[in-house]
Structure 1
C-alpha cells in the first residue's frame, strides 16, 4: 500500500483494523480515525476511498455491536459528511440516510444525537434526498416526539424540517403530526442555533399554503400567537439573519391570507425590515433575501407597493444591485452553498423587486425606468445564461410594459423585442407564459403609421403571428389566452394586410374552437380580435366580403349561447362594427334572425346590452349612407322604431342619447 499522511498519523492501519474482524481493537481504532478525519478533508477522502463507510453502516444496524461503538461510527459518518460534495454523495448512495433514520429510534440519546447531527449535515447539501424522510410514515411523528429531548435534538430536527418541506404534501404531513405546536415554543428559545432553524421551518411550512398559514397565525404558546412571537424577533437587538428570517415568516403568513397587508405587523414591522435588509451595510445574502422577500410581500398589494417605493430610497438602492461587480460588502454567511455568483443573484433579486414595485402604479414605473441604463440591464439580463436572471429580467420587463406612456417612449428606443422573441422561440417552457404575456403588451402601440419602422413592425417580421396562433392551440389556458390576446392587440388599428395575415393564419376552424373555449377570458379576447379586425369602413367591407358568412355564424353562435352580459355586449359591438361598413350592412339586414335578436337586446334588462344593440341599429339606419331609407322602412315594419320610442323613457343618459340619435335618422 502507498504511504499516506493518514498512515503516518498514529499508524493509519486503524482503517484496516476496522475493516477486519479484530473486534477488541475496533473502539480504539474508530477513535483514532475520528480524531484524524475531524477538520482534515484529505483524511476524510482517504477514509472513504479505503471503503470505511459500508463497515460503519453495518455496525450501526447491528444490535450486537456495543452502543458506544455504534455511536462513534455515527460521529465518524457525520465528520465524513462535512467533506467534499463527492464524499457526501458517496455517503448518501451507500444508504446512510435510512440507517441514520433507523438510528434515531434508539433509546440511547447519545447515539440518537450522533445520528441526527449526521442527518443534519447531509440535508444541508444542495440537493438533499428529501423523499427518504417521507418513505417511512413513522419518521416524522418520531422526530416530533423526540424533538424536546435535548438542545441537539431541537437544533437538528428543526434544521431537517426546514430542509425537507418542499411541497404542499410535505407541509400537510408535518402539520398533521403536530409540527406547529412543537415549533411554537422553540421560537422563545434562548439558543440561537435552535431559533434560526425553527424560523426557517415555519417559513417553509407556510409558503404558498393558505390553510397552514392560517393555522400558524392562530397557533399560540403561553397565550401568545406565533405572529406576536415573530414580531419580537424583528427587534433591532436581534441579528440581521434573525430579523430577516422572522420577516420572511410574516411575509408568507400575509401572502397566505393569514395577515392583512394593511395590518401594523406587515406595514410597520415586516415591510421596513425587508427594505432595511437591502442596504449596503448588510451581507450580500441578506441583500438578495431582502429584495426577494420584498418582491414577494408587495407583489399583489398596490398600497404596499406605494409605501415601499418611497421608503429609504429603495429604487436607488436596488439600482446599485445591477451595477455590482466585485465584493463590495460582507461575505455570505452561507456554508452549504458553493460558488455563488453574487452578481447574478443581486441582479435577479433587483429585477424581481422592480417588477413588484411597478406592478400597478404609473409614477413608480416611471421612477424605475429612469434608473440609469435600466433597459440595457434588462436586455442584458434576458440574454443571460443564468435562468434566474433571465426569468427575473423578463418579469421586470412585463411589469414595466404595462405602461402605455413608456411603450410610446422608452420602449421605442430599445430593442427589447429581440431577446424577448428569442426567449419565446428558444427559451425554457416555464417562461413561455410570462414572455408571451410581455409580447402582448409590446404589441400595444398607439402611434400613427405604426406598421412602418416600429418595434411592432419588427416583431411582426420575426413571425409573431405564427407564434401567437400556435399558442392559441396549446392545452394550457394561460398560453391560449396570451396567444389570442396578442393577436387582438396586433389587429388593433392595423393595416388591412396585417389583418388579412392574422385571419389566414388562425383560420375559421381555430376561431370557432376559441369561441367554444371553456375559459370566458379567452372567449372575450377572441371576440375582441374579431372586433378589432372589423374596424374602419374599407377594412370591414373587405374582410366581410371574404369571411362575412363565418363571422355572422360566430355572432349568432355566441348570442344564442349561455354567456355573461359582458360577452354578449362584446358580440353586439361586433355587429355594430359590421353595421358601420357600406356593403357589410347587408349581412345584418338580410338576416331576420339577427335583427330579431337586436330587438330583443334593445328591451333587455341590462342597460349595457341595450346601448350596444341600439348603437348597432343607429348605424344601420344612418341617413347619410346609401340605402338608408330602405333599411329604415324594413326596421320600422319590424317594430324597431316603436321600441326606440319606448326607450325614450330610459333614465340612463348614454342610452337616451343613442335612442335620440337613432330616432332622428327615422325622421
Structure 2
C-alpha cells in the first residue's frame, strides 16, 4: 500500500468521519445524502474501506434506502452506486452483500415500473458486478417474479425495448453469466433469448454486441436443440449464421470477430452446422487462426487458440486445413515465448479506477495494484501455454504430416516436457493431451519420444495424479506400450503393472478401459515373467469382473489381454495349468448370446490359442459346452465367427500332435467333419481355406 492510500484509510476511519458515516441513519435527508456521498467517494478503489463499511453494518441500511419510496431519487441512486462498488471488492465482501439479500432488492428496483431509466441502469450495473462472480445466486433470476413477471422475461423485453446501450450491455452480461446448465439454456430458449440476441448483434454499439455474442455462445454450448434454434433464427431477412459470418469481417474489433467465431464453433460442435459448411471452413477457421497472430491482444490470442482446438478436435479435414492456415504452427509455438508488456497493462489500468471484480481466486484486501497487474500477466502467460498445447493436441490428432511439422518446431518438445511438470494443472493436462496426440505416430515413438525420455515424467504422473490427468496419462501409455515403442521396456516393472491393474478397478469407465488396454499392449509378445506379473497382480477374479463390464470396449480389451497372455506354446500350457479353469470361464461368458459378434470373435480367437498348446487343448476337449458352441459358430451366419471357430477346430485336429486321433474321433462324432465339408461350398475364400486346412488334418488312424 502506498502512502496516499494509507493516509486515505487513516482519514476514513477517524472519529469525525465515523460520525459522517453514521449520519446515513439520520432522518434528515440532507445529512443522509452527504453521508452516502462520502461513503461512495471513499470506498471506490479501496478494499479496506469497503471492508470497514461492511463491518459497520451499512449494507442493510443501503438496501432499506433503495426500497424506500419516500426518499429522493438521488439518494436511491447513490446508495445503489455504493452497492455497485462494494460488489467489486473481495470475495468475502461479495458474499456478505449477497447474504443480506441485495440481489432481490436490485431485481425489484429494475422491474419496478416507477423506476427511472437512470435507476434501472445503475441497478443493472450493480447486478452485473455481482453476477460476474461464481457466488452469484443465479437461480434467483430464473425463479423470481417481481411484480408478477418472470425476471428473465422482463430483462429480455427490456433489452429489446430500451435505447440505452448500457442497459442492453448489462442485461446481456448478466444473462451470459447466468447460463451455466442445460436447464438454464432451455429456459432462455423458451423465453426467446436467441431472438433477442439476434437483435442485439445488430446494435451499433460494440459493447452491446460482445456480451450478446457471449450469451449466444453460452446458450449453444454443447446443446443441439438450442443450436438448431440459433441456426434457423432470422432478423431483418438474415439468418443468424449469416450475421455471425459478417461479424467476423476485419472491420469489426478482434473481440467481436472472435466471439462470432466461437458461436459458430459451438453450433458446429453441437451438430447444427456441418464441418464442411462454408461458414466453418472459409470463415470460422481462418478467423480463429488470424486471431492467434502476434498483432492481437494476448487474451484474444489465447482464447482463439482454445476455440480453434475445440473446432478441430474431432474432424480430420478441419485439422488438415487448420495446419496449413495462416502459418498456425509457428504462430502457436510463439505463444511459449510470450513476454507481457508492462507498459500496455499499466496504460489500461490507469484508464479507469482500479477495482477488481470478485472471484474465488481473489487476493486479500491488502493486494496492491502492482500485485494485481503481476497476477494478470502471469495468468495470461499460463493461458497462452495451455491454449497452444491444446491446439497442437487437436491438430496432431490424426495427421502424421502435421505431427512431423509440430515436432520439428523449435523447442516445442522441450515445452511439452516442461508442461508435464508445470504447477498449473490445466497446463499439465494440455501438455499430456498434446503428447497423447503425438504418441499416435510410430516414427515419433521410435525417435523423439526416446530422445526426450518421455517415460520419466509419465511414470511419475502415473503414480501421483488427479483422475483427469490420469485418464490422459494412461491413454498415452497405451501407445507407449505398443511393441514397436522403445519406451515400452521402461514400464515392464512391478510398480507399473500394479498401477495399471489398480486402474481396472476404478469406477470411471475411461480409467478401467485405459488400464486393461495398457495391460493388453504390455502383454503382447512379453516374456513369461511379465505375463505372470500381470496375472498375479490382476487376478482371475478381476478378469471375470471385467468380462462382465457393461462397457463393451472394456470386454473386448480384456479378451485381447487374455489372448496376448495365451500366446507361445510354452506360455499357454504354463498359464492354463494354473489359471485354466477361470480363463475358460471368462471365454465361456464372452461366447454368450447376449454379446455382439466382435466380442465372440475375440473369445473364439482365445480358444484357438488355447487349442495350439500341448496340454492346454484338454481344457477345450473336456468342456462339452464349449465344444457345442464351437460347432454352432462353424455354421453361424457371421463369416468372421465361422473363420475363428474353424481355426480353433483346426488346431484341435492337428494330426502331428500327441492325442490327435482321440480328439479327431470325438470331434467327428460331434459332426465337426460334416460341418467342415459343408463349408467347402462357401463363397468366402478365407473361410474355404480354413475349412480345407482343417479337413486335411483328419487321418485314418488304426
Structure 1: distance between partners of 2:432 and 2:46: 45
Give per-residue Cα distances to partners, 1:67-103, cap 9 Å, x unaligned: 4421221123224444566655554454422321222
Per-residue Cα deviation, 1:516-570 (whole angstroms, up to 9, x for no partner): 1121111111111111110111111111111112222222222234111111111
Task: Give the one of 118, 126, 143 matched to 1:118.
Answer: 126
Q: Distance in 2 between matches of 1:124 and 1:165?
A: 12
Q: Which residue of 2 aligns with 1:451?
A: none
Residue equivalent to 1:408: 446
Change (3 A) 1:43 1:111: same
Q: What residue number does 2:221 align with? A: 207
Give 2:574's aligned residue: 542
Taking structure 2 as the reference length, the TM-score comes to 0.88
Q: In structure 1, the residue corresponding to 2:492 is in which secondary structure?
A: helix
Indicate the residue corresponding to 1:377 in structure 2.
Answer: 415
Task: Please state how far the C-alpha of 1:50 moved relative to its aligned partner.
Answer: 5.6
Instruction: Give me the whole-angstrom Cα distance separating, in 2, the residues matched to 1:439 and 1:3.
Output: 58
Picking from 168, 171, 177, the partner of 1:157 is 171
Contact 2:9–2:49 (CA under 8 A) maintained in structure 1: no
Q: Distance in 1 between matches of 2:60 and 2:41?
A: 19
Q: Encode CA deviations 1:283-322: one digit per residue, 9 max, x unaligned.
A: 1011101110100001011110011011122111111212
- After superposition, residues 78-93 of structure 1 pair within 5 angstroms as 78-82=84-88, 87-88=93-94, 90-93=96-99
CA contact (8 A) 1:408 1:445 kept: no
TM-fit CA distance, 1:605: 0.8
Select the residue among 60, 70, 78 that pairs with 1:64. Answer: 70
- Tell me how many residue pairs correspond in the alignment: 660
Runs of at least 5 residues in structure 2 that lack an aligned partner in the other structure = 1-6, 350-355, 360-371
Q: What's the TM-score once normalised by structure 1's chain length?
A: 0.92
Aligned to 1:305: 319
Aligned counterpart, 1:589: 621
Match of 1:658 in 2: 690
Question: Which residue is 2:634 aligned to?
Answer: 602
How big is the shift at 1:262?
Answer: 0.5
After the TM superposition, which residues 462-473 of structure 1 pair with which residues of structure 2 at under 5 Å, given as runs? 463-473=495-505
User: C-alpha separation between the residues in 2 aligned to 1:328 and 1:289?
Assistant: 20
Please, which of 188, 199, 210 is the counterpart of residue 185 of structure 1? 199
Does the aligned pair in 1 maintain the 2:494–2:533 contact within 8 Å?
A: no
- The match for 2:236 is 222
Moved more, 15-24 or 169-178: 15-24
Between the aligned partners of 1:617 and 1:203, the Cα distance in structure 2 is 59
1:542-621 pair list within 5 angstroms: 542-621=574-653
The 5 A counterparts of 1:354-503 are 354-446=392-484, 455-461=487-493, 463-503=495-535
CA shift, 1:493, in A, is 1.0
Alpha-carbon distance, 1:385 to partner: 0.9
Aligned to 1:74: 80
1:213, 1:351 → 2: CA distance?
Answer: 28
The one of 175, 179, 182 aligned to 1:168? 182
Answer whether contact 2:11 2:17 (CA < 8 A) is retained: no
Note the aligned Cα RMSD (angstroms): 2.8
Contact 2:21 2:38 in 1 (8 A): no
1:221-300 equivalence runs, <5 A: 221-300=235-314
Query: How far does residue 2 in structure 1 lie from its aligned partner after superposition?
Result: 11
**Residues 151-193 of structure 1: CA deviation (Å, up to 9, x unaligned):** 2321110011121212212212222222112221111011111
Structure 2: distance between partners of 1:561 and 1:44? 71
Pick closer, same or farther for the CA change 1:87–1:515 going to 2, 3 Å.
Answer: closer
Query: Which residue of 2 is the match for residue 450 of structure 1?
Result: none
2:369 aligns to what?
none
Contact 1:284 1:329 in 2 (8 A): no
Gaps of 5+ in 1: 448-453
Deviations 1:447-485 (CA, angstroms, capped at 9, x unpaired): 6xxxxxx63333233612222222222222222212211
Which residue does 1:53 correspond to in 2? 59
Counterpart in 1 of 2:154? 142
Distance in 2, matches of 1:531 and 1:46, equals: 71
Whole-Å Cα distance in 2 between the matches of residues 229 and 253 of structure 1? 14
User: Which is bigger in relative contact order (C-alpha 8 A, separation at least 6)?
Assistant: 2
CA distance in 2, matches of 1:2, 1:490: 68
Please state how far the C-alpha of 1:125 moved relative to its aligned partner.
4.3
Is 1:27 matched with 2:33?
yes
Verify the 8 A CA contact 1:199 1:245 in the aligned structure 2. yes
* Pair 1:352 & 2:390 matched: yes
Which range moved further: 309-318 or 457-466?
457-466
1:444 Cα offset (Å): 1.8
Hey, what's the Cα distance between the residues in 2 that align with 1:57 and 1:113? 17
Aligned residue for 2:362?
none
Alpha-carbon shift at residue 41 of structure 1 (Å):
7.1
Q: C-alpha separation between the residues in 1 aligned to 2:90 and 2:516?
A: 51
Distance 1:232 1:628, change over 3 A: same
